[in-house]
Amino acid sequence: MVAPVVVLCLELVVALHLVLRRRRGYSSTSGQPERKRRAAMRPSLMRSASQVLRRRRGYSSTSGQPERKVAILGAAGGIGQPLSLLMKLNPLVSSLSLYDIAGTPGVAADVSHINAPAQVKGFMGDDQLGEALEGSDIVIIPAGVPRKPGMTRDDLFNINAGIVKNLCTAIAKYCPNALVNMISNPVNSTVPIAAEVFKKAGTYDEKKLFGVTTLDVVRAKTFYAGKANVPVTDVNVPVVGGHAGITILPLFSQATPATNALSDEDIKALTKRTQDGGTEVVEAKAGKGSATLSMAYAGAVFANACLKGLNGVPDVVECSFVQSTVTELPFFASKVKLGKNGVEEVLGLGQLSDFEKEGLENLKGELKASIEKGIKFANA
């Protein structure tokens, strides 16, 4: 008991000494009376000393947060590149691993020049996937093909299911404890595929697998704010169900700030626009892909929430498509409380309007079929 205390005191003295030496050069410039200046320095000295100690114990030097490694698979793509930028800017990230089958050396070199703390490394091709993943706390997956006009998300299944299966096999091997943020479509099927791959590998933890549905929430907030004429930054709207067409169910009856200004027709139109938000972008891009910038933003918001949860920040809640008992379906998007192990609690749906109750019943058939399709593929 005594020895560790002595070591701690010695470490503290060494740290204070280092900090004092570093600060000596500044003392002549402050112009404050010497006693007052020294008193003002004491709390910040203690903070700096504790930073020196934390650095020695694997905590990040600048923020006092634990070291966190985030890997992005598909980092050279339309979503991957702006998402890499946003994660580089996130002060909770200490190591950023950018993986793709091509193009990552350039993206990594580019992003690494930004003067933010995260250390950036690029990895390319199967041979480097293991190294890219090792030690990751969070793996974000935007790898795969996007839609063109006229396609459904399910039309992407044939290509993306195989990509996701291979990447998840590698995750099970190299970073089985990481939180997985699945962006690749069709999310309603790729999340069940990932779950089956992890089950087969013996690494499945339902608390650590997330379908990223944040873009639906982002859109619902934006469209609601515009229609209700309220400040968009104040708005919250839960979006439940899944991530395709009618399986996307925004709960505008629970939107805050509440408003009486919207008619039933307005709510129907807002719901439809949220459900068709992805298609709106696909058509506007006219063959050049689907949402990338808004998705990168949404992916960064969700990853940040996961990081905060891992770091022990209380009451972090986001909607996500997770293993669930909220309905009879095995996976379902709803509000989720995030904690040190990923999902801390899957929250219920709350009070629904009649329109939302009807939407909930209508979505179950399609969502069930997409989930079963993913499970069947993974076990074939």
Residues with catalytic roles: 243
Q: How far is the CB of 268 from ligand LMR (least distance, A)?
A: 20
Please, what's the b/e burial string for 334-362 (b: 16 or more CB within 10 A of its CB; e: otherwise)? Answer: bbbebbeebbbebeebeebeeebeebbee
Residue 181's nearest CA partner among 212, 206, 204 is 212
Which residue number has the CB closest to ligand LMR? 278
**Binding residue (CB under 6 A) for ligand LMR from 49, 96, 281, 310:** 281
Residue 155's nearest CA partner among 143, 147, 163 is 147
Amino acid at 44: S
Residue 273 binds ligand LMR (CB under 6 A): no
Q: What share of the chain is helix, strand, coil (3-state, %, to 5)?
A: 55, 15, 30
Residue 192 binds ligand NAD (CB under 6 A): no
Lookup: tokens for 147: 């839609």
> What single-letter DSSP state applies at residue 256?
B
Residue 82 binds ligand LMR (CB under 6 A): no
What number of chain residues touch ligand LMR (CB under 6 A)? 11
Whole-number Å distance between alpha carbons of 331 and 299: 20
**Binding residue (CB under 6 A) for ligand LMR from 211, 238, 278, 359:** 278
Contacting ligand NAD within 283-302 (CB under 6 A): 289-292, 295
Residue 184 binds ligand NAD (CB under 6 A): yes
Contacting ligand LMR within 15-44 (CB under 6 A): none
Residue 182 binds ligand LMR (CB under 6 A): no
Hunting for tokens 């439940």 — which residue is that? 240
SS3 37: helix
Q: How far is the CB of 226 from ligand NAD (least distance, A)?
A: 20
Residue 221 binds ligand LMR (CB under 6 A): no
Only segment of 18-26, 86-94, 145-153, 200-208 that touches ligand NAD (CB under 6 A): 145-153
Using the minimum distance from each CB to ligand LMR, give the nearer residue, 55 or 285.
285
Residue 142 binds ligand LMR (CB under 6 A): no
**Could you give the count of Cα atoms lying within 13 Å of 13 in the half-sphere of its Cβ?**
6
